[in-house]
Structure 1
């Protein structure tokens, strides 16, 4: 019965995001007929590779927004994680213990990004800063920290054991896509099946009522910002692994816009109280396909930024209309 209930819940969630599914289907059909080689394995891998990091970051953003907050620092935290990893596994200290350097490069930068996420949470809960202001601090300072760490220099490397996270193809599937699917599944389970997930929605729905009912509001917020930081750290490692280089000026650039747009298009209320994890997944895929379609039709990539901004405006307008109804 529990398994049946789980499938029924999944189908109900898919029904709630049917508009996103229909838009995604329309984009797929359009490109299948009018974009050469769209149905090739190479094109599929390229699109999945590019969208995987957006989805990973957007999972953390979904939890943050569900509490009524927002995290503008995700791109900067990706940059910090991305510059720390090569410094670790290329360090002379691990010349004879490369496996240890690689292991630490996968762990420490992610933990550092998570610690900065926790700092965002402390700004929100202890200093009582508005989330947009609290995370704006690291949006600005975080990339500066990453640039200072490397003196603004590009770090190139060729370390197969590390680049596998971005270039590996187990069973022909990009490794980061497998990792992304695991993160989506875990996030969905957390939101739907755990006390923490219910607490996240309660805090975003009515923070005062949540506190009065015994939910540790501050602790919940600290956790969601920390999780957002951790996922940003993982995404930063994937990006530098794909490029076999780390550039503090480029890693995570505009990621906050992509993540927020994915969440908004997916149906999660930007005012909090709701978390459409599957919607965020489809929202990110829609944004990626729109960008791909524009590029395939010769539209400059810069135009995609305008489209993403327009998508957020339309999504928010539709959300407000549904709430009034």
Structure 2
């Protein structure tokens, strides 16, 4: 009779289960702990003003990070999103301020200010996708092109000038309310919900994950890999353009030097903390939303308790490293 020693087996199972639980629910737990800490230590944390500030600050990040989640799910990355926000934010005011072409109808001008900038950033997203697919350039290098050149394009469009404006019709996207909810927060939720539905219930969503999981197998299975990759970069460009409109509408000004600055890092951090694999094959849209909230609350918590803002950058980096570590260990299990 062979006697099997199982004394070390149980701890191993428990360890693997803990890693898997941390990978799946760690972001939610971190968000809960941050909320509990602030309830105990931060005055007026539950005031409407505090909630409103945190939600409006995170709205643009979530919109951009949603597009970033789709790109990363295919095994890519998009470093150009911050610069595309700057381009979108530069083009929009020039339309309703009659800087480009005089438009007599103010309603039409505002409508075009929403549509044309997003079409422009979608075109740049297509450019990124073509570099990645047709010319087989690594995504980090391909999108680095517009990361560098895109902000220069925005500066050329505006001649480096600050565009200050006041247009209630255009600024509703950031300053208005829908059923008592800030319009930009409602927009954030709509974008996240739409992306969640697409990834969960559509063929496109399954194809995105298949491409990121095993591109060669996806191609052999008849999935149009090139088209899928181009589409996710186009979507990322569109959402970056939308976020750019939100930011300039909120600030009542467009500054090509500052709009979207560092947004690509915030978006990647939200995706990583939210549980999506940076190597592709997984897209956790809800996790990305929660990850962005965690990052925002970390920054708010530090500032509210007298810690310099620079410390938030260090904590953000630590969160990314921890998230990636947990993902890798959970996947190996």
Same fold (TM over 0.5): yes
Deviations 1:172-227 (A, max 9, x none): 21101111111111100100100000000000000000000000000000000000
Look up the match of 2:281: 273
1:1-325 matches, cutoff 5 A: 17-91=24-98, 93-94=101-102, 96-325=104-333
Offset of 1:311 from its aligned partner?
1.6
Offset of 1:309 from its aligned partner?
1.9
Number of aligned residues: 312
Deviations 1:88-146 (A, max 9, x none): 11006445311111000000001101110111000000110000000011000001111
Deviations 1:148-182 (A, max 9, x none): 11121110001111111111122321101111111
Q: Residue 125 and residue 95 in structure 1: after superposition, are their counterparts in 2 closer, same or farther (change >3 A)? A: closer
Query: Alignment RMSD, CA only?
Result: 1.4
CA distance in 2, matches of 1:121, 1:299: 41
CA distance in 2, matches of 1:95, 1:266: 43
- Displaced runs of 4 or more, over 4 A: 92-95
Q: Residue 210 and residue 226 in structure 1: after superposition, are their counterparts in 2 closer, same or farther (change >3 A)? A: same
Look up the match of 1:6: none
Q: Residue 79 and residue 131 in structure 1: after superposition, are their counterparts in 2 closer, same or farther (change >3 A)? A: same
Deviates more, 1:84-93 or 1:263-272: 84-93
CA distance in 2, matches of 1:251, 1:303: 22
Tell me if structure 1 keeps the 8 A contact 2:22–2:326.
no
Q: Residue 15 and residue 191 in structure 1: after superposition, are their counterparts in 2 closer, same or farther (change >3 A)? A: farther
TM, length-normalised to structure 2: 0.91
CA distance in 1, matches of 2:208, 2:257: 33
Tell me if structure 2 keeps the 8 A contact 1:59–1:280.
yes
CA distance in 1, matches of 2:242, 2:122: 10
Offset of 1:20 from its aligned partner?
1.2
Offset of 1:315 from its aligned partner?
1.3
* Structure 1: gaps (5+ residues): 1-13
Deviations 1:21-48 (A, max 9, x none): 1110110011011101110001100000
* Structure 2: gaps (5+ residues): 1-20
CA distance in 2, matches of 1:170, 1:192: 27
TM, length-normalised to structure 1: 0.94
CA distance in 1, matches of 2:185, 2:128: 28
